[in-house]
Amino acid sequence: MRPGRPRTPQVSGTPSVVGRLAPRSDGTVPFSVEFNPPKDMAAEARLWRAAREFERMHPAFVSMTYGAGGSTRDRTARVTGQLARETTLLTVAHLTAVGHSVAELRSIMGVYADSGIRNLLVLRGDPPGDPLGQWHKHPEGLEYAEELVRMVRDLGDFHVGVASFPQGHHRSPDLDHDTRQLCAKLRAGAEYSITQMFFDVDDYLRLRDRVVRCDPAQGAKPIIPELMPITSLRTVQRAEELSGRALPAPLLARLERAAGNDPEANRDAVREVGIEIATEIGQRLIAEGAPCLHFITLNFAKATTEVLVNLGYSLASAAVQV
């Protein structure tokens, strides 16, 4: 079942993510990229190199995750603001409820609004240190992302997206419960969702069907699939953390075959297979009518660019170094 094209609310004339989901001028499906907050100046320089590379390829939007504590948080707000002000990239800031009072959340939104950011991906966040650990709401904070969606919408001028989970969120008792909570977030005012990364496209299609069955009006809102090119056996572990699931055995077997007895010597072969796998996932998603492909980049442009080229995108800058 393919969702129809949704209506796009206007917020102060700022482009919204949904407003950027029309096919690109060459007919290809839009793509977008996710960055992570840099931890130090060297990482910040790398992020900027990737951002400038992507800027030339005209992604629909870029998003910046939000996490960790202390100085990284300050750096996150500063760099996200700079991306919005100093590039042509439509910048989405992730906003998480975890560890914050309502007053702090309002203040973070104020910082983003001052930088001209009008698109937020609204999330609950995970307990710091151990994503699977016990969840404790901040005493003056919020329990669920749905409440934060309402708060952000009540405060006014923001376009809101939320997270969705093709295989269900790890705290959901079952998929029906999980789908009902996603529909509640969408009804609260979210315009679209971005999925947790996955390896089996059927899981994405089943999620899409579940949302349509749960609430046809919310099923018309875009569900943007997230994918990540695997570039080494080490990134398998990162991919598994981000997807919350083990890599399917046949995919792992392909990577391990390429690695043979010497993963270090065969790292180019492993990388090639990783790019091939992401390309296959992208091809199927495009064939199934996904509204956009959202890439986890780990602040590198090269692997995502290779996948896009394999998928037939003609990009202004295909010979990317980082």
Ligand X SMILES: Cc1cc2nc3c(=O)[nH]c(=O)nc-3n(C[C@H](O)[C@H](O)[C@H](O)COP(=O)(O)OP(=O)(O)OC[C@H]3O[C@@H](n4cnc5c(N)ncnc54)[C@H](O)[C@@H]3O)c2cc1C
Which parts of this chain interact with ligand X (CB under 6 A)? Answer: 65-67, 94, 96, 123-126, 144-146, 163, 169, 171-172, 177-178, 181, 185, 194, 196, 226
Nearest to ligand X of 128, 260 (CB atom): 128
User: Which of these, 166, 179, 154, lies nearest to 102 by C-alpha position?
Assistant: 154
Residue 312: CB minimum distance to ligand X, A: 25
Catalytic hit among 34, 191, 226, 306: 34
Nearest to ligand X of 186, 230 (CB atom): 186
Nearest to ligand X of 177, 213 (CB atom): 177
Please give the backbone phi and psi of residue 66, each rounded to the nearest 5 degrees, phi first.
Answer: -135, 125
Structure tokens at 55: 């800027």
Is 52 exposed, middle or buried (CB count within 10 Å of its CB: 0-12, 13-18, 19+)? Answer: middle
Residue 96: CB minimum distance to ligand X, A: 5
Place of tokens 């180019």: 268
Report yes or no: 30 and 20 within 8 Å, Cβ to Cβ. Answer: yes
Structure tokens at 144: 């669920």
Residue 115: CB minimum distance to ligand X, A: 17
Residue 175: CB minimum distance to ligand X, A: 10
Query: Reduced to 3 states, what is the DSSP secondary structure of residue 170?
Result: coil
Which amino acid is it at 257? Answer: R
The number of helices, as runs of H, and strands, as runs of E, in the chain is: 11, 9
Residue 271: CB minimum distance to ligand X, A: 24
Instruction: Tell me, yes or no, if 280 is annotated catalytic.
Output: no
Nearest to ligand X of 196, 279 (CB atom): 196
Query: Reduced to 3 states, what is the DSSP secondary structure of residue 121?
Result: strand
Rg (CA), the chain: 19
Nearest to ligand X of 115, 179 (CB atom): 179
Structure tokens at 229: 């090119």
Gap between the Cα atoms of 63 and 208, Å rounded: 22
Instruction: Give the residue numbers annotated as catalytic, written as ranges.
Output: 34
